[in-house]
A and B are shown apart, each in its own frame.
Chain A
Amino acid sequence: MQIDRYERRWMVLTAVTLAVLFVAVMGSVLGAGIQVPGIDGQVDPRALASTPPFDRPGLRELGPGRYEATIVAFIWAYSPNEIRVPAGSTVTFTLTSRDVVHGFRILDTPVNTMVIPGQVARVTHTFTRPDTYLFVCHEYCGVNHHTMYGRIIVE
């Protein structure tokens, strides 16, 4: 099989471009530590009321400037749907769903995870500037899906 000179150059160029892009992605994972969700535990969605930490959803201070926010998603709201933290706080969000698949996207941040019944999702973000951040459900979860949201108030 003969390959045209220009076509061979194009193929090499494509391969190099893809390799460079992939290395850049790896760099942001290892260097900047921007991670996607992984395996963070499981929970029986029918027994959330008796399973810590989901039996008492809310904000907990772990140390100076470090918080854990436990959030339960259900049709069609989050509990809690409002969280207040001081600017500069690093917040770990621990989420699960009581019923169907939901989403959790904090607008204007890289925080983005699915909230799947049976699975625990854990994501961490540092809020540097004071503002009100919306978080919204981004997975279709029924007829009032578009009413499911909450806020993080960074003071």
Chain B
Amino acid sequence: MSLAQRRLVSWHLYVAVGALALGASMGPLQALEHMGIDLYRYVPFLASYYQGLSLHGVLNVLVWTTFFISGFLTFVTSATLRRPLYSLRLGWLAWGLMTVGVVMAGWAMLTNQATVLFTSYPPLKGHPAYYFGLTLLVVGTWLVSANLFLTWRQWRREHPTERTPLGAFGALVTFVMWDLASVGLAVESLLMLIPMSLGTVEGTDPVLARAFFWFTGHPIVYFWLLPAYVSWYSMVPKQAGGKLFSDPLARLALLLFIPFSIPVGLHHQFTDPGIAQGWKMVHAALTFVVFFPSAMTAFTLLASLENAGRARGARGWFDWFFRLPWRDPSVAAQLFAMILFALGGISGIINASYNLNLMVHNTAWVPGHFHLTVGSGVTLTFMGISYWLIPYLTGRRLWSPKAALVQAWTWFIGMLIFGRGMHWLGLLGAPRRTMLGAATYAQLRPDWALPSVLVGVGGVILAVSLYLYLVQIVATLFFSREPAQVEVPEAEAVSGPEHAPFWFERWRLWVGAAVGLAALGYVPTLVDLLTRFTPVPGLRVW
């Protein structure tokens, strides 16, 4: 890959890691606060717990993920198609727009003018720079995807009969899904949030805004997750010393996310008044359907890892698990990510279970759930990827593989303890996104004390892990002098891509199915909410 292109990918990763450094640093403060230790007052630039929480949410789930994904999938597409990116200039334009957006939103958050948390529910009214900034971030991802589609089209012209390599295939699926899904957020932002924050409308309808937000807000989790699946399917089997079990079924699992990821967003609104129970039930059913490709993924990955373990000399039923290259930090991080993600998937099924959700909706259970999914399944995988990708891009060996291994272990252990604490707190009824240590009702609930200690302890272990990761990246960039010999891992398959039917790459078919299903799942609810539009004036309440 050309030096110019490596530089483009690297700069995506640098912004990603920078956002993680600031956003995730808030995490241990929140965890310790739950335990009754308030360190917030010592952070000079923070006006409140909730300002820190906004930075934590936005910088981690929107900025760290979006920049890492844009860089990583650009890399994967170009590397597996074995051709340069369609346009480097377009790549830098996308990066520039996204970076300007992050600076604008970041400025608003750091000056306490957008303490609205990452969900930004109106009528909370943040500074217009915040909404403009996040809009630019989304527009940037559209340009990234355009660049990848155009790169693929050039490749397709030269290879009319070949199957797209699995890595590039996964990258395309991710962006096809995301471009469709992000329409909801774009509509909410341009027609509701920006006019509200500029004061050009008398107010906006909170339920309608929530419906548009969650139209994007659930599939966004697959935008985070699918790049991790791309690594797990097309790279990890090779890194572990084996072969992918089934390439065609990997493709099918990825493809199913295109139609099924969008008409599920109402499951975030089961407890919202103003939305019919019947449509909530439909989305509950479809959420169960979209669990299916993840269950397929579990099988394929276990079979692939077993294949790797046996190739490394394993016998018996379970020996293969222990024969995997656990000393390779990139592999270990991603294996831990898979285990934590499986646990998060199970709590997710509970969230999605219509009325069972009443027990956990908006309790600490929910952040417990998404710290195991996006905070571990995705984030720890991205950390694992960066342990080979950054040496590849910079030509410098990893500063300390041993420290990287400790980082993976501490994230795993820290997240198990933290996740256990949060899920437990949630079952006891503790609300989410709440300054629990200072809550006036907390002393009435002595049963919250023990799980809060788990949250605090887990949070501190996670902080150690985070700083090990940041030190590793900085030290690799500035102090590692040895040249790296890194190959891009590209797994072969037991059952190869030639077994995949060609209609898997008829994108119009998949986009059509997705649009149809999304319309079916959303149009009646959106029309109903539009006819009952109730404007509510924006408010600053922090």
Contact = CB atoms under 8 A, between A and B. Distances in A.
Interface string B10-33: 000000000000000000000000
A38 B433 contact: no
A119 B429 CA distance: 24
Interface stretch (B313-321, B347-355, B396-404, B479-487): B347-355
B431 A137 contact: yes
A143 B50 contact: yes
A149 B445 CA distance: 13
Contact of A118 (B121, B124, B495, B534): B534
Contacts of B277: 35-36, 38
Contacts of B429: 105, 107-108, 134, 136
A13 B441 CA distance: 45
B272 A118 contact: no
Interface stretch (B60-68, B174-182, B291-299, B324-332): B291-299
Contacts of A107: 428-429, 445
A140 B359 CA distance: 18
A137 B281 CA distance: 25
A100 B274 contact: no
A39 B276 contact: yes
Contacts of A108: 429
Contacts of B241: none
A72 interface: no
Given A100-B539, A139-B362, A121 B303 contact: no
Given A45-B536, A116-B273, A140-B117, A29 B354 contact: yes
B73 to A, nearest CB: 25
B285 interface: yes
Contacts of B205: 118
Contacts of B300: 7
A125 B245 CA distance: 51
Given A39-B274, A45-B536, A146-B439, 16 more contacts: A7-B245, A14-B291, A28-B356, A107-B445, A108-B429, A112-B271, A114-B273, A115-B273, A116-B272, A119-B206, A120-B273, A121-B273, A140-B53, A142-B50, A143-B48, A145-B434
22 contacts: A2-B495, A7-B300, A14-B292, A18-B288, A18-B292, A22-B285, A29-B281, A36-B271, A38-B275, A39-B275, A42-B532, A46-B537, A105-B362, A112-B361, A113-B271, A119-B206, A139-B433, A143-B542, A145-B435, A146-B435, A146-B439, A149-B441
Closest 6 CB pairs of A and B: A142-B541, A138-B431, A118-B534, A121-B273, A107-B429, A138-B362
Interface of B: 48, 50, 53, 115, 117, 121, 123-124, 205-207, 210, 245-246, 248-249, 252, 269-277, 280-281, 284-285, 288-289, 291-292, 295-296, 299-300, 303, 349, 353-359, 361-363, 428-429, 431-436, 438-441, 444-445, 495, 499-501, 532, 534-537, 539, 541-542
